[in-house]
Amino acid sequence: MAEQKLIIEGGRRLEGEIAVQGAKNSVLPLLAAAVLCKGTAVLHNCPRLSDADAALRILNCLDCKCSREMSTVTVNAERMTSNEVSTQLMREMRSSIFFLGAILGRTGYCKWSMPGGCELGPRPIDLHLGALMKMGVDIKEEHGFMHCTTPKGIHGAKISLAFPSVGATENIILAAVTAKGETEIHNAAREPEIVDLSNFLNKCGARIKGAGSGAIVIEGVKELTGAEHSVIPDRIVTATYMCCAGITRGELVLSKTSYRDMSAVFPIFEQMGCSVYTYGEDCIYINARKSMKAPGKIITHVHPGFPTDAQPLFMAMTATLPGTTVFVENIFENRFRHASELNRLGARIGAEGRVAFVEGVGHLSGAEVEATDLRGGAALVTAGLAAEGVTRIGKIFHIDRGYENIEDVLRSVGASIKRN
């Protein structure tokens, strides 16, 4: 089958309303958590994404019964027998590593393939493994696999993370909820997706306190039931569509979202000259009609700081703002790969290590480009919406990992975009 591309005719202002999808980075750990449930987990607001499908394939591989009805996914792990996941499945999605904690919590054994790197750099898992070993997990690395056993069962431990890793925090929680005794996580990641995971697990009978803060305490319980839960909205997808409004000087309402977790992003939109209002429980209004200017600097931090996942989108948006914007990427060591593709669209970006300089240009012009990773691909879509002429984006499988029906969503608010 010929490679799919997104074809965008730029220059059209976005106007209208977008209902934001459920959060990819919440639904993935929630699906892993379902492995621990001796009952049925019903998850609403699950976006249709290739990463979510990959997680469901892993659950099927573990003999969990999964079904999807529109945006509701049901998982029953009652009769889960296998604890082996095929290498191909494990390697398909690097972030599936938190299935390790869930499978160990449920069965006490897991053979997991050493994760490959990914487009953002080596992505080590030393913090995950160090913590699991403190909890009684023996890990033997052999022929590219980690053979994880728990000879004396998983027990609670006091864990201080050298870096507040999101995935490591989630893995520890998943291993700790049915462990013997109490687990403390210090310097835990504070991302909203961790709060969502904790809320779901507590509905299933877990005893987790402090999620969202840097100190999380989990008291192990004997077993977990199932529960019904709604996945939180995707704050990065929200920021993406806000950047699409900004770069086309349009105005959008984003509904079914949550602005509470976006406090580091709003001030940047306002510094650039956008009007941003929040109203009701879950709506954001952005108007970018006014003249805009470069925000000066954007520095990524762990939550609640400016999210690294929004960095590529803002880099696209600042490409046509008068002035210079300095980006400092503190989370990943190789997260500027989209810069060279944006330069093919006429942007003027210099990137060196963890720092990039964007010098605003009068306009972008359409070209053939390729997505380098999930958010880098979304950045090319954002830029293509404003570029004069036609932009054709290849390797859009990266984008489909995290954006549900991106072309239908953007077309619904006035973009000229199609998938061939």
331: region left, alpha or beta (phi > 0 left; psi from -120 to 50 alpha): alpha
Q: Phi, psi at residue 230, to the nearest 5°?
A: -110, 125
Q: Tell me whether residue 46 is one of the annotated catalytic residues.
A: no
CA distance 32 to 275: 39
28 is a site residue for ligand EPZ (CB under 6 A): yes
According to CB under 6 A, which one of 21, 95, 198, 199 is a site residue for ligand EPZ?
A: 95
State the minimum distance, in angstroms, from the CB of residue 370 to ligand EPZ.
Answer: 17
Note whether 233 binds ligand EPZ by CB under 6 A: no
Q: Pick between residue 294 and residue 331 the one whose CB is nearest to ligand EPZ.
A: 331
Q: Which of 127, 315, 345, 396 binds ligand EPZ (CB under 6 A)?
A: 127
Nearer to ligand EPZ, 167 or 220 (CB): 167
Q: Which CB atom, from 127 or from 176, has the smaller least distance to ligand EPZ?
A: 127
Compare residues 101 and 167 and give the one whose CB is closer to ligand EPZ: 167
Report if residue 111 touches ligand EPZ, rule: CB under 6 A: no
Q: What is the DSSP string of 9-54?
A: E-----EEEEEPPBPHHHHHHHHHHGGGBSSEEEEES----HHHHH
Give the range of 82-90, 142-150, 159-167, 200-208 binding ligand EPZ by CB under 6 A: 159-167
Instruction: State the nearest-atom distance from the C-beta of 216 to ligand EPZ, in Å.
Output: 15
Give whichever of 26 and 150 is closer to ligand EPZ, judged by the CB atom: 26
CA distance 250 to 125: 41
Cα torsion 373, 375, 381, 384 to 10°: value is -90
Instruction: Based on the shown chain and the rule CB under 6 A, indicate whether residue 375 belongs to the binding site for ligand EPZ.
Output: yes
Q: Which of 45, 83, 165, 287 binds ligand EPZ (CB under 6 A)?
A: 165
Number of separate helices (H) and strands (E) present in the chain: 14, 23
DSSP state of 231: P
- Of 269, 254, 239, the C-alpha closest to 16 is 254
Name the residue whose CB lies closest to ligand EPZ. 167
- Check residue 331 for interaction with ligand EPZ (CB under 6 A): yes
d(CA 280, CA 269): 20
What residue has token string 């945006």?
71
126 binds ligand EPZ, rule: CB under 6 A: yes
Q: Which of 46, 64, 66, 118 is catalytic?
A: 118
Taking residues 282 to 321 in sequence order and writing x for each that binds ligand EPZ by CB under 6 A, - otherwise, the string is --------------------------xx------------
Q: Does 83 participate in binding ligand EPZ (rule CB under 6 A)?
A: no
Contact flag: residue 178 with ligand EPZ (CB under 6 A): no
Q: 10 Å Cβ neighbour count for 147?
A: 14
Residue in 70, 135, 123, 136 with CA at minimum distance from that of residue 331: 123
The torsion angles phi and psi of 89, rounded to 5 degrees, stand at -65, -40
Contact 417, 3 (CB under 8 A): no
User: Which residues are tagged catalytic?
Assistant: 118
Q: Which residues would be at the binding site for ligand EPZ (CB under 6 A)?
A: 24-25, 28, 95, 123-128, 163, 165-168, 189, 308-309, 331-332, 374-375, 402
